[in-house]
Amino acid sequence: MNGIEVTLISGRTARQGIGLEEGKTSQGYIKSVNEVSLCPEDAASLGLSGDEPVTVATEHGSVVAHWRVDKGLARGTAFFPYGPWANQVYASSTDGTGMPQFKGIRATLSPAAGGKVPSLQEIVESMRRAEH
Amino acid sequence: MKELAIRNGYVFDPLNGVDGEKMDILLSGGRVVEKVKRGAEEIDASGMAVMPGGVDLHSHIAGSKINIGRLMRPEDHRRDQVPKGRVTRSGVGYSCPSTFVTGYRYAQMGYTTVMEAAMPPITARHVHEELADTPIIDKGAFTLMGNNYFTLKYVRDGDMEKLKAFVAWLLRATRGYAVKIVNPGGVENWKWGRNVHGLDGNVEDYGITPRQIISSLARVNEELGLPHTIHLHCNNLGVPGNYQTTIDTMDVAKTIKPRDERKTTIHVVHCQFNALAGNNWMNVRSGAPKIARYVNGNPHVTLDLGQVIFGDTTTMTGDGPWQFNLWNMTGNKWVNSDVEMEAGAGVVPYTFKPNNPANSVQWGIGIELALLVKDPWRVYMTTDHPNGGPFTHYPEVIAWLMSRKARTDAMNAMNKAVMKRTGLIDNYREYTFSEMAIATRAGTARALGLEGKGHLGQGADADAAVYRVNPTQWRPSQYKELEKAFSRAAYTVKAGEVVVKDGEVVATPTGATHWVNAKVPEDLEKEFIKDFEADFRKYYSVSLRNYPVEDAYLPAQRVHAAGGASP
Amino acid sequence: MKHEDVVCPFCGCLCDDLEVTVEDGHIVGVKNACGISRSKFMSHGLNRVSAPTVEGKEASLEEAVRESVGILSGARRPLVYGLSSTECGAISKAVELAEATGGVLDNTSSVCHGPTILALQQVGESKATLGEIRNRADLIIFWGSNPTEAHLRHITRYSGTAKGMYVPEGRKGRRIIVVDVRETGTSKMADQFIKVEPNGDFELLEALRATVRGVALRAEAVAGVPMDQVRALAEVMKGARFGVVFFGLGLTQSEGRHMNIDAAVGLVAELNRHTKFLLTPMRGHYNVAGANAVTTWQTGYPYAVDFSRGYPRYNPGEYTSVDMLARGEADAALVLASDPASTFPVDAARGLAKIPVITLEQKITPTSMLSRVVIPVATAGIEAEGTAYRMDGVPIRLRKLVEPTEGVHSDEEVLGMILEGLKGGAEK
């Protein structure tokens, strides 16, 4: 099944704040940042249901994440809380400002049939492996 | 105990009546003493001028305002980069120097005490954190009070007793040294985007006038017996024609009874900016003669210059509406920073240009004030760093004051308006070494009420400067040499330790922060606190418990008692 | 024991009215706190780094410090990064350490309000302390900021619903407008929500500025906002008695970055010709303002400072951490009070994984997992005292409420030990 084009926005959430004060290795934190939010219509058009995760892909990279519905989002806009999962898809280019672009990125969402959301350890391991 | 003998210099110690006599200055245990033991470290000052360490009573060196200047002006830093040395930290200089560099450069010029001229109470910790990071020199900060809610409220209510209790409490809470007033009432009105115009303008929401604020604070200042008078940035700063406001303002404090041991009741800061005659920037001319005439006839006034230095600098004052005007005039970048319940500030870069008629007149006004005020004990050299220009230009100002040739050469290189619209060309006065010592240390120390500073008598703080210039041979035509000598002291001694040798920093001890422990009777204190707490709770965004500055912020402190005439 | 008026070391609001109960050296209760703050105080003991480690193996503090000194003195281009969630004493030591190693010093503002600082350096800003806004503002605009998720007590303490001297009625006395690309908790409590297209903020701000100036724009809509609405908003802004724009990362992290802030500053400056208007960045970490302040008074520059020539140089885009790491330029890093492996885009995070990293941390993080040396430190504001600067620049003293675990020191102390080691080495 094909994906849909969205504008991806990152940001803080209170859940993430509460989670990170428990610790980055706590379930509270991990669950608060390994899921992407989208509007009900977009979720329906992707045929998402149940626990099946989604793949978030940009020109730069992709990651498998959980998803949830947020009625406050417009069609074609997705929200991904700051964190190690979201950062898999952002580019490190800063256009000479020091600041990468974390908001307003073109991305594709698609069902991750059979995909698995990586664990925090797996993400850290993948960073390490990149050195070889 | 560390001992030091400065031998055979020509000593200028005006507070003790010493005028260029060849003598030894002996230092032990951080004080000037009569004798030192054999084997004490010696400085050979033969053929050189020896003075007490310099005392600057008005400079912006620490706190949120200067830090905004530093933050907004990377282009300013790039022309003056300071590498790390053997005993010194790296940093930047020019108009907004980093804290370390500020300490080094004052010491290199032979200055050992500097007062930060504007401390907003709620950010007092910031001022003290920066002062703690300013090495070598002793320092202090003046607490902003002229637009404080509680000042305005007690003036409105005519409650001088509570005002007195408040001033004392706030000095203690902020570890402040003096009462600073900036454009009284104007900064409060600026919080709605407006200003006051003149001494009798209306301070909105309170129905009072700047005149009332000034007279009330001046009176309370003296009744508390604070070491320094009120330290006042007048209304109408930078408005051509403002010399009249300045004179009227000085007159407000005329009938105030000064504390014991002091005859003055008001210090007018960076007077150049408030000594403008004419009615617009096109025809602006010097109001210095009129102001000097008033000052010469009225012993209750002191002032400092706010001398203009040509070049690019960063203006920063607690006068928000003035900085807004300056932004409108220049179109340069503008930071405005209002402080709840208390104060405000603005920062705008500005370039004083020698070919600009108004700027050349401003340059002339500063020098003219210094030359026309007859009593050297009541007019002090400042550039209102960095408003008129960076403090590192003091040696040039010294040259202009001590050498008519220096200022004639300077005038020949600037717009002719300085010749036509100031009286400078007809003024032949040249400061003597002794007068220069008064304008830069003895007079300022006395104005501040800093008893251990500004002189080299027995028991004085062991702060001294040795300049490589022979006062018996120097001629005003050699002003470049003078400039060089005052730029790089042969020796600067701080608390008995050599901190600068041949213009280079050789040691970086921690200087003390001076503050005034002012007090009112206990029952008055209690009554005041009750009223104060209630309003504080309602209107401040911090808790009262987290407001006063803790001792942790003053790694070395010197506490001064308030005293003198009680009512 | 009850501690009153305790300062919360989480976000830039730096609320200082908490009541914390300590029993037997442990925090057992906290009042007046938001959810995140409660979590910070109540969970500060969870998931802690239990002991110093070198290469993943437990080590003594001395060994960890020695290894750190070795890494830093062997590095040609070390990066010192983080700083924003610790107190100013530690920040000061970090500056000295970066200077001593001839390295690069950066703090988290390079990925939060760095663009705000760049704009300030171009055009300035008009700001005030939060109490000033609480006491006077009758118009509050949240632009690309969402305090209901990031600064949970901002609205009740300082802005929307707070009562002030000239706004005694609180919420009813203020008009609240939210400009954002999506509906948020904040937009739901606002009087008006203006939805701007993603990356359209610059256009909308400039259109508003032109309209305030009296320029008639011929467009029908700007960045998805109908021109009628733009004109109406301009009138509301001009008609306010005292207005403020609280802006967030919605402006700094989207396309245009500092140019968005430049436009916002320009709009607010223009409005000051009509009424009183201010803007204030919603700073995230509780002491990121302090990291900028200390670094500025010591070096002249707020972040992205290079000491390789012996004097400080400043160049965001070059000496900023994401760029340094993504380019593979840094050959060692010391991280404190931050978790760049989680917060940086993946290429920069990988850059970190390639080099020896020293991390000073309270808790286990992806950065500490990647580090060669990990040294546990005390939590400032709970286990150590010091100064923090609120988002508006008001400095408040953090308190020490409980003792850290034995053998655990403050950031400042550990940095001091490393610095001593470096100086000792230099003397040999």
Rounded average pLDDT per 10-residue block, chain A, 132 residues: 89 92 94 95 91 94 96 94 96 94 95 93 90 48
Whether chain A has a CB inside 8 Å of the CB on C254: the answer is yes
- Residues B557, B560: Cα–Cα separation, whole Å: 10
Q: How many CB pairs under 8 A join B and C?
A: 175
State pLDDT tens for residues B51-102: 999 999 999 999 999 999 999 999 999 999 999 999 999 999 999 999 999 9
CB C316 within 8 A of CB C109: no
Determine the distance in angstroms separating the CA of B48 from the nearest CA of chain C, rounded to an integer. Answer: 34
- Residues C154, C25: Cα–Cα separation, whole Å: 30
CB C275 within 8 A of CB C243: yes
What is the pLDDT at residue A51? 84
Neighbours of chain B (3+ CB pairs under 8 A): C
The pairing of strands B266-268 and B301-304 is parallel
Determine the distance in angstroms separating the CA of B129 from the nearest CA of chain C, rounded to an integer. Answer: 9
On the question of pLDDT at C222 being above 90, the answer is: yes
Residue of A11, A104, A123 with shortest CB distance to C199: A104
State pLDDT tens for residues C338-392: 999 999 999 999 999 999 999 999 999 999 999 999 999 999 999 999 999 999 9
Determine the distance in angstroms separating the CA of C215 from the nearest CA of chain A, rounded to an integer. Answer: 29
- Predicted ipTM? 0.97
Collapsed DSSP state (helix, strand, coil) of residue B245? helix
On the question of a cis peptide bond just before residue B210, with omega within 30 degrees of 0, the verdict is no
Q: Which residues of B touch C314 (CB under 8 A)?
A: 74, 77
Amino acid identity of residue C69, one-letter, is: V
Q: Of A29, A103, A119, which to mutate for an interface test with C (greatest number of C Cβ within 10 Å)?
A: A103
Residue of B64, B90, B125 with shortest CB distance to C312: B90
Q: Name the pLDDT band for C322 (thresholds 50, 70, 90).
A: very high
What is the pLDDT at residue B566? 40
Complete domains list, chain B, with CATH: 53-459 (3.20.20.140)
Q: By CA distance, what is C323's nearest residue in A?
A: A98
Determine the distance in angstroms separating the CA of B273 from the nearest CA of chain C, rounded to an integer. Answer: 24
Number of Cβ within a 10 Å radius of residue A70 = 18
What is the pLDDT at residue A50? 82
Mean pLDDT of C264-276: 96
Structure tokens at B211: 């005149």
Q: Name the pLDDT band for C424 (thresholds 50, 70, 90).
A: confident
Q: Inspect the interface and report whether the beta carbons of A18 and C35 lie closer than 8 Å.
A: yes
Determine the distance in angstroms separating the CA of A112 from the nearest CA of chain C, rounded to an integer. Answer: 21
CA C116 to chain centre: 11
Name residue, tokens 């080590």.
C59
Q: Inspect the interface and report whether the beta carbons of C320 and A82 lie closer than 8 Å.
A: no
- Residues C396, B10: Cα–Cα separation, whole Å: 49
**Which CATH code fits C49-112+286-427?**
3.40.50.740
Q: Inspect the interface and report whether the beta carbons of B84 and C311 lie closer than 8 Å.
A: yes
The pairing of strands B343-352 and B311-317 is antiparallel
Structural domain boundaries in chain C? 49-112+286-427, 114-281
State pLDDT tens for residues B188-237: 999 999 999 899 999 999 999 999 999 999 999 999 999 999 999 999 99
Q: Does domain C114-281 have CATH number 3.30.200.100?
A: no
- Residues C123, C221: Cα–Cα separation, whole Å: 27
pLDDT means per 10 residues, chain B with 567 residues, are 93 98 97 95 97 98 98 96 97 97 98 98 98 98 98 98 98 98 98 95 97 98 97 97 98 95 96 97 97 98 98 96 94 96 97 98 98 98 98 98 98 97 97 98 98 97 98 96 98 98 98 97 97 97 98 97 61
State pLDDT tens for residues C197-212: 999 999 999 999 999 9
- Residues B122, B124: Cα–Cα separation, whole Å: 6
On the question of pLDDT at C45 being above 50, the answer is: yes
- Residues B180, B232: Cα–Cα separation, whole Å: 6
Class of domain A4-129 (CATH, top level): mainly beta
Average confidence score pLDDT of chain C: 96
Structural domain boundaries in chain A? 4-129
Neighbours of chain C (3+ CB pairs under 8 A): A, B
What is the pLDDT at residue A131? 52
- Residues B132, B119: Cα–Cα separation, whole Å: 15
**Is the Cα torsion angle B77, C85, B126, B321 positive or negative in sign?**
positive
Name residue, tokens 């900021």.
C145
